[in-house]
Amino acid sequence: MFASTSSDGRKSVLVTAVPLPANHRCHLKELVAEAHELQAAFGEQQTQVLLNPTLDMFGKGLDGKAVWWFGGHGDMPLDGENVPAFCHADGTPEVVTLHALAETVRPHVVHGCLQLIVFTGCKTLALAKKLRELTGVPCAVGWQTLVEDRASRQWALGFATAIAAGNDPRSAFDAGCVAVTTVVEKTVPHVQRYELFVDPEDEELVHPITDDRTPPHLRGRLRKFETPAQRGRICAGTPVLLDDHAPVRADVPHEAPALDSARHVIVLKGEGGVGKSHMASMAVREDTVRRHFADGGILWVNARLEGADPVASVIAPDRGQLVPDRSQIAPGGRGALIIEVGPVDDATARQILERGASISGKEAKLPVEASAILEACAGLPLALALAAALCRGGDEGAWVALAAEWADTRRKLDEILPDEASTQFTQHTSLRAMIETSMRQLPREVADAYRGLALAPKRLPLDMALLGALLGAPDEETALRWRALLASHSLLHLTEDGMCTAHDLQLDYLKLTNPAKLQTTAARLATLLVAPSTLDRLRIQTSRALGPYCLGLMALWREVERVQGLPTAGPACLGAEAMKPLP
């Protein structure tokens, strides 16, 4: 559930409305009323409204906020880029560079709880993208086109109401779109008033004159919002959600409520990349599942274990476990429920691509040019997420270009990888080709840095210190910028606690490609692992039990020693140091 309320009772939504003074030529007279409507929709106890704030007032207002909503001019020109306008004390517009704005926002992302930024002005998508890149905020919304003010207001209220109800940003985005498309004409109640996801400046689709003088063959087409209502829907514009959360499978299992107390083990069994881990993490958020596993948790089984009953042998008999397993041997014993998980069907694959590529609206469909990508992804949700990220906001040509580049990459990988005819190999080669294609779309320095994750332990969430060492980022600001860019390509996944992870198969591919700078990465990690801050954290983690963080760092140390050709005494030394009592 998306958190828009604060546990300590503080206001957690900041609405900054910048209508500018009434005597200013760019005054937005309806914005104040809209801000108070949003306050009511989010909840008055959770929402702070700032009218015409200075940048300094805005920065102070962000403290403790999970959501920042900006209403006002988001396209004020400054040094060749569009920036949002704040307001000086004397009523004149205050504009600052995006980098200066990012300096104000970033601390509330890194050290605070800011999760979502929303811009509702015309052509604010580029602003949302840039600010996201500079701050690392997980989710942002902007408008790609001009936007009709009344439609934007309807969308805002639908979105805010859904967020206040605890919905995630994607569901809230869809609720906002529904709120717009269900508005009807006052004089003709059965006629839809607004049309989303069409550019008002697209002269091939939008005709500005829709009265009786319009030629018959043009009547009833979409119209620009400046024209009085006569015929045809008003073109409202195109909102876009930028979201790091991976598209989800629709078939999350709900078998837990039917289980009796004897069934301690649920196993999600299937090949890598089909979405087992994501399904498990989603399932345990359900109240019925959480109650069933109240004394247990999730056990990740990633290796191809040998021997009989590999899962049941490592589970305590008095604890239930939900197990994503890709071993070849089916677990059994103690009434384990085995759920076979395979690639998604065509309808689900299309849904993942549509959601991941921000193709929204009740009539929005994947273009026919995406058919080759559907086939290339072989029903693997991870591959679909990567492909969707590359085509987000693009036209039909983007899908054609991606299919061509993927095919070329796949052909080259087929030449250098071992020949194997299994279905799993075919699927994973397709996935590897999509990972490589995605990496090629990154700036060269970021793609090279990403290869450093070849040494990352599987299933260990990466904090900023560890991620920075793996990437070789010169400072935290660069690490944050790279993290946001990698997450937007679905090459990293941001977790709810601000850390990030990469999928096992992504890490496997990075290991397979043998990055040339692996020794340099290992040296950076060796320095980090013996740093006082790391050892102090390990002592705290191991004061009660040997936790997963400690085990993950020990696995990381083994990788470092392997790369450096050292004897494997490191983990024991690290463990002994970690077990020392705190002073």
Condensed to tens digits (0 to 9), the pLDDT of residues 458-497 reads 767 788 888 888 899 988 888 888 888 888 888 888 765 5
State both tokens at 550.
């400690």
* This prediction's pTM: 0.53
Strand partners, 237: 196
CATH superfamily for 1-243 is NAD(P)-binding Rossmann-like Domain (3.40.50.720)
Give the three-class secondary structure for 567: coil
CB 247 within 8 A of CB 385: yes
For 400-403, the CB contacts below 8 A with 24+ separation are 400/369, 400/372, 402/373, 402/437, 403/369, 403/372, 403/373, 403/376
Vertex 83 angle, CA 78 and 84, to 5°: 130
Q: What is the DSSP string of 66-85?
A: SEEEEEE---EEETTEEE-E
The stretch 115-120 carries a mean pLDDT of 92
Q: What is the pLDDT of residue 140?
A: 92
**Residue 440 DSSP class:** H
Compute the Cα dihedral for 558, 561, 567, 569 and give only its sign.
negative
Q: Name the more confident of 568 and 108.
A: 108
Type and span of the H or E element at 239: strand 239-243
pLDDT confidence bin for 218, thresholds 50/70/90: very low
Cα–Cα distance for residue pair 278/459, rounded to 1 Å: 12
State both tokens at 467.
């991620």
Q: Name the more confident of 213 and 253.
A: 213
Domain parsing of the chain, residue ranges: 1-243, 256-340, 346-440, 461-578
pLDDT confidence bin for 165, thresholds 50/70/90: confident
Question: Which residues lie below 8 Å from residue 363, measured CB to CB, with a gap of 6+?
Answer: none
Cα–Cα distance for residue pair 212/527, rounded to 1 Å: 76
Beta strands in 454-510 (DSSP E): 493-494, 500-501
pLDDT confidence bin for 377, thresholds 50/70/90: confident
Residue with tokens 């829709």: 210
CB 130 within 8 A of CB 117: no
pLDDT in tens, 540-549: 554 444 455 6
